Structure 1
Amino acid sequence: MTDPRAQAVLDFWFSAEAEPRWFGPPVPAFDQEVTARFRATYVDVKVQRLSAWTSDPAECLALVLVLDQFPRHMFRGTAEAFETDAMALDAAREALERGHDQTFEMRKRWFFYVPFEHSETLEDQDISVALFRTLNHPSPSVMEAAERHRSTIGRFGRFPYRNAALGRVSTPEEERYLKEEPWP
């Protein structure tokens, strides 16, 4: 039986109301709702009180969402938005090792792959592109996004759009890139 907190995460994230907010422009009211509903769960996950969630496919999917997607809404524009990326990537790796991703339909499966896309290492970006290719998603934008992330890491070794939030100094080339290709 799925932990009720994990089920609440999945019910919310895969609802008709939330789905249009996944990758679109920021919606402050949605960010506030994620924070109000799931900040306590995020804190529990962050301090690894819910590490048992990796053994169950549904709970593991919820874990990845809480570590990877929710901080981007709760802490948008700050370093904290990326603070649990490594934990999300570890959970995603474990999910793939256990075959959890294969138990879900496409729109849920790809959230096991997004932490690789969010990684600032080229090796993880290569894994991301390969994983997204296996989805055979009908929208070319899904594959284009994976390839764009990989290209950015290949070019800069990091995501320049994170520089301000992370207190990193942008190179002149990164500054030009950010002006020419606003992200995301």
Structure 2
Amino acid sequence: MVAPEQVLEFWLDKVGPKGWYAVDEAVDAEIRERFMTTWEAARAGGLSLWLTYPSGALAYLILTDQFSRNMFRDNGTAFALDTAALGVAKLSICKGWDLKIDAAARQFFYLPLMHSENLCDQDRCIRLMVERMPPSAANNLLQTQAHREVIRQFGRFPYRNDALSRQPTRGEQDYAAKGGYGHTLRQLQADVAA
């Protein structure tokens, strides 16, 4: 297992903002190699000491919400710890721990809400992005709005259907044929530009 500081050093310093949302098999492989045992400990209900202070909670959220998506791309296991991450994010936000973290990293307290298939969580994520993130994070806000739009329309993220063995609806199939999430994002960008 690794310490919370090792998660933060790797994700915030080594990978950094340019790599956070990139699809990079080398980064995914390194995350699996370095952090799988710690991720499994979190899945088993461990790491409770991480949840007693702001940077520990941040490391937990990166491990359970972000690293899951890197380690298990296109697999339902990518979402296995979403409920745990969401609970930790909500508790941390209530304690104001997100505000004790630099703005660039603060977004990781809000992403479990953005990844939730619940419209109330989506609405709260947008409020937090507006109220607690700097104006320079406008692209994060746009991404959050696009996620909310998908949940408004379908009540779930259709692009998870295959990984979660969910049967797509006709509307979801039409959505995918039009470009899916990318289409939603481009529409919102056009609305902002107009």
TM-score by length of 1: 0.93
* Aligned twin of 1:29: 26
Q: Give the alignment of 1:40-59 within 5 angstroms.
A: 40-59=37-56
- CA separation of 1:77/1:4 partners in 2, compared to 1, >3 Å: closer, same or farther? closer
Runs of 5+ unmatched residues, structure 2: 183-194
| 1:19 is aligned to 2:9 | no
Residue 54 of structure 1, CA deviation: 1.2
Residue 47 of structure 1, CA deviation: 1.1
* Aligned twin of 1:136: 134
Residue 52 of structure 1, CA deviation: 2.1
| 1:103 is aligned to 2:78 | no
* Aligned twin of 1:8: 6
Percent of aligned pairs sharing the same letter: 34
Residue 18 of structure 1, CA deviation: 4.1
Alpha-carbon distance in structure 1 between the residues aligned to 2:93 and 2:138: 23
What is the letter of the counterpart of residue 36 of structure 2? R
- CA separation of 1:67/1:17 partners in 2, compared to 1, >3 Å: closer, same or farther? closer
Alpha-carbon distance in structure 1 between the residues aligned to 2:150 and 2:181: 11
Alpha-carbon distance in structure 1 between the residues aligned to 2:29 and 2:158: 26
Q: Over residues 91-134 of structure 1, what are the superposed CA-to-partner deviations in whole Å (9 max), with x where a residue is unaligned?
A: 10111121110101111111000000000000100111111112
| 1:166 is aligned to 2:164 | yes
Q: Give the paired residue count.
A: 181
Q: 1:156 aligns with which of 150, 154, 157?
A: 154
What is the letter of the counterpart of residue 173 of structure 1? G
Q: Over residues 66-112 of structure 1, what are the superposed CA-to-partner deviations in whole Å (9 max), with x where a residue is unaligned?
A: 11000100000000000100000001011112111010111111100
* Aligned twin of 2:189: none
- CA separation of 1:18/1:140 partners in 2, compared to 1, >3 Å: closer, same or farther? closer
Q: Is 2:2–2:35's contact at 8 Å kept on the other side of the alignment?
A: no
* Aligned twin of 2:65: 68
Q: Is 1:54–1:94's contact at 8 Å kept on the other side of the alignment?
A: no
Alpha-carbon distance in structure 2 between the residues aligned to 1:156 and 1:67: 25
Alpha-carbon distance in structure 2 between the residues aligned to 1:107 and 1:141: 12
Alpha-carbon distance in structure 1 between the residues aligned to 2:112 and 2:95: 16
Residue 27 of structure 1, CA deviation: 1.0
| 1:86 is aligned to 2:86 | no
Q: CA RMSD in A?
A: 1.5
What is the letter of the counterpart of residue 118 of structure 1? H
